[in-house]
Chain A
């Protein structure tokens, strides 16, 4: 074989590796669009799939009952799924990446429950920032999410943490914050206690155009931010010590990524409450299909998070005619067995 043939063989092997990933990416985008429309066409009023598409294509101007339902209720709810699913999956992926721990996710590490408790405080006190209550809620949720992530960061730095210790810390965080939340619920008025209780399930009934737009904007910003770090994050998968010797500023990268993840989680939790396991399930499925090159893994994980949320929302609407089962319940019912399987694989 001459030199040229040998060279081109390397190129073709690498492009074959990436070609499959592009196909998965394309299919995932198509699936998100399809499931989005399916999700939108399901609900209490008898809107057909076809009508739903027609109303969407017409644009928001037309007046009519179905038009209002689609543009005022269904679309913001579906788009909120997109925003929340994206935020949760993206943060889940990056927390897994920098802790190098397949069991890590915002939910299993207790970051979500910290954020949820923060949001509960905001609800009880009715805090608003710049006149908006959602900013107040998201800000306090962020503060608590950041607190938990920094605790994990410094504990890891001090003690050096194995996969299992990290998850145990998560359990402690979960216990601690759910106790605090229960206390808050116990002390609050019946009405507020009800709101907090709903919060801990993750309920899409709270969705609005604000939650949709902010959720999607934050997801988009997160994707752009992590895209710039994609090779550094990929190097992390080759081991922390390895990344350090390849010249990557490991500690500062961890700090940045933890903070960004906390912000993403707070956005997810701040609008519709705790939705567990999306950040665990989505990155795993994505990793199995596209491998660990972050240029593909990151967008595909994000899209999978959106798919999981859309699927959970569709199921929750189908399970309860008329009202809406909180999505958090659906994701947890699916997520717990998933975590169990992962844990068994780790222990083996």
Chain B
């Protein structure tokens, strides 16, 4: 199925400050797109606007085989892992992904869906553990499981790797990539690490001054000029034989 997420003229204002000014971009399914840019440029705001979690103008539409729709339940926004200290067990956290369909009595079918999701993500062994006792990597996986159980068609990941060590960064991102490919999902992730952006983003969308500075493949975008302009940093960019770009920051300007 041909699936495209189209955002058109997305504009967000906080008070009299325009955070995002008429952002228009299309996102393909089956591959992941990285949203990058300096702090406070509106990366998270953009994801939230797409998910209709904050007030914005402009349109977001999901086009499937030429037909356009917008259903909020097709879109899952996975917030950045905060200082959440809930005692809910992993099983219950994932079950909450179905919250809009839950009645007083949880059905066997719903229980099975939770279990299948836990198995798919390789976290079934911690099902009975309270969330607040998990490691950062496990928390992130549970958080994603909670979103994936609802079978979203659009997955929005807000800094999914920010609190994780290198190994868990890769585990989480590999999982997102696999799900995106297998389920033909539109996945957009916000990330600070330019290496991760290049490693997992088939396209990079660079936000700067409330607008899109560039939106293209990593090897066409990640250039010293752009890094200087957007981040205010002098850098060297190496093209690796694996096809990824490596940005080596040298000094702030």
Decide yes or no: A13 and B128 within 8 Å by CB, A234-B88, A287-B87 being known contacts: yes
Check if B89 sits within 8 Å of A17, measured CB to CB: yes
Whole-angstrom CA separation of A62 from B185 in the bound complex: 74
List CB contacts (< 8 Å) of B83-128 with chain A: 84, 86-89, 91-93, 95-97, 99-100, 102, 104, 106, 108, 111-112, 114-116, 118-119, 124, 127-128
Q: Can you report 18 A-B residue pairs in the complex whose CB atoms are below 8 A from each other?
A: A7-B112, A10-B118, A11-B112, A13-B91, A13-B115, A14-B91, A16-B128, A17-B91, A227-B104, A234-B92, A234-B99, A245-B53, A245-B147, A247-B72, A248-B99, A291-B88, A291-B92, A292-B87
Q: Which residue of B lies closest to A241 (CB)?
A: B79
- CB of A239 within 8 A of CB of B115, answer no
> What residues on A are CB-neighbors of B106 within 8 Å?
14
In the complex, B207 has a CB within 8 A of chain A: no
Residue in chain B with minimal CB distance to A242: B79
Query: Are B115 and A232 in touch, CB under 8 angstroms?
Result: no
The answer to whether the Cβ of B252 comes within 8 Å of any Cβ in the partner chain is: no
Which A residues form the contact surface with B (CB < 8 A)? 6-7, 9-11, 13-14, 16-17, 227, 230-232, 234-235, 237-239, 241-242, 244-248, 287, 291-293, 295
Candidates A6, A17, A245, A295; contact of B77 at CB < 8 Å: A245
CA distance A6 to B99 in the complex (A): 23
Distance in angstroms between the alpha carbons of A333 and B79 in the assembled complex: 41
CB pair A6 B88 closer than 8 Å: no
Question: B99: which of A227, A247, A295 is its contact (CB, 8 Å)?
Answer: A247
Provide the residues of chain A in CB contact with B104, threshold 8 Å: 227, 230, 295
Q: Closest Cβ of chain A: how far from B143's Cβ, in Å?
A: 8
Given contacts A231-B96, A235-B99, 9 further A-B contacts (CB under 8 A): A13-B91, A13-B115, A17-B91, A232-B99, A234-B88, A237-B87, A245-B78, A291-B89, A291-B130
Alpha-carbon distance between A248 and B124 when the two chains are bound, in angstroms:
27
The bracket for how many chain B residues form the interface is 35 or more
CA distance A16 to B79 in the complex (A): 30
Q: Are A10 and B99 in contact, CB atoms less than 8 angstroms apart?
A: no
Contacts of B89 in A (CB 8 A): 17, 291
B53 near A11: Cβ-Cβ < 8 Å: no
The answer to whether B115 and A10 touch across the interface, beta carbons within 8 angstroms, is: yes
Query: Which residue of B96, B128, B147 contacts A234 across the interface (Cβ within 8 Å)?
Result: B96
Q: CB-CB < 8 A to B92: which residues of A?
A: 17, 234, 291-293
Chain B residues in contact with chain A, CB under 8 A? 51, 53, 72-73, 76-79, 82, 84, 86-89, 91-93, 95-97, 99-100, 102, 104, 106, 108, 111-112, 114-116, 118-119, 124, 127-128, 130, 143, 146-147
Decide if B102 touches A238 in the complex (CB within 8 Å): no
* Nearest CB in chain B: distance from A20 CB, A: 11
By the criterion CB–CB under 8 Å, are A247 and B73 in contact?
A: yes
Most buried by B among A7, A16, A227, A242: A242
Q: Is the CB of A231 within 8 A of B79?
A: no
Give the distance in Å from the alpha carbon of A11 to the alpha carbon of B89 in the complex: 14
Q: Verify A291–B87 contact, CB threshold 8 A.
A: yes
For B72, list chain A residues within 8 Å (CB).
Answer: 247
Q: How far is the CA of A109 from the CA of B128 in the complex (A)?
A: 34
Partner of B86 from the list A227, A237, A244, A246 (CB cut-off 8 Å) is A237
- Decide if A231 touches B99 in the complex (CB within 8 Å): yes
**Residues of A contacting B127 in the complex (Cβ-Cβ under 8 angstroms):** 10, 13
Q: Taking the nearest CB of chain B, how far is it from the CB of A108, in angstroms? A: 18
B93 x A245 contact (CB < 8 A): no
A16 to B92: give the CA distance in the assembly, Å.
Answer: 12
Q: Which residue of chain A is the closest to B102 with respect to CB atoms?
A: A231
| Residue of B86, B118, B147 with most chain A CB atoms under a 10 A cut-off | B86
Find chain A residues with CB under 8 A from B88 CB. 234, 237-238, 291-293
Cross-chain contact of B119 among A6, A244, A291 (Cβ < 8 A) = A6
| Chain B positions within 8 Å of A287 at CB level | 87
Contact of B79 among A245, A247, A295 (CB under 8 A): A245
Q: Cβ of B76: which chain A residues have Cβ within 8 Å of it?
A: 245
Q: What is the distance, in angstroms, from A25's C-beta to the closest C-beta of chain B? A: 15
When the two chains form the complex, which single residue of A9, A244, A247, A295 contacts B115, counting CB atoms closer than 8 Å?
A9
Q: How far is the CA of A14 from the CA of B110 in the complex (A)?
A: 11
Q: Is the CB of B111 within 8 A of A14?
A: yes
CB proximity of A241 to chain B, nearest CB, Å: 5
Please, which residues of chain A bring their CB within 8 A of the CB of B82? 239, 241
Q: How far is the CB of B135 from chain A (nearest CB, A)?
A: 18
Can you list the 10 inter-chain pairs with the closest CB atoms, starting with the nearest? A10-B115, A245-B77, A241-B79, A231-B102, A237-B86, A235-B99, A292-B88, A247-B100, A239-B84, A13-B127
Q: Which residues of A contact B143 (CB under 8 A)?
A: 242
CB distance from A12 to the nearest CB of B (A): 10
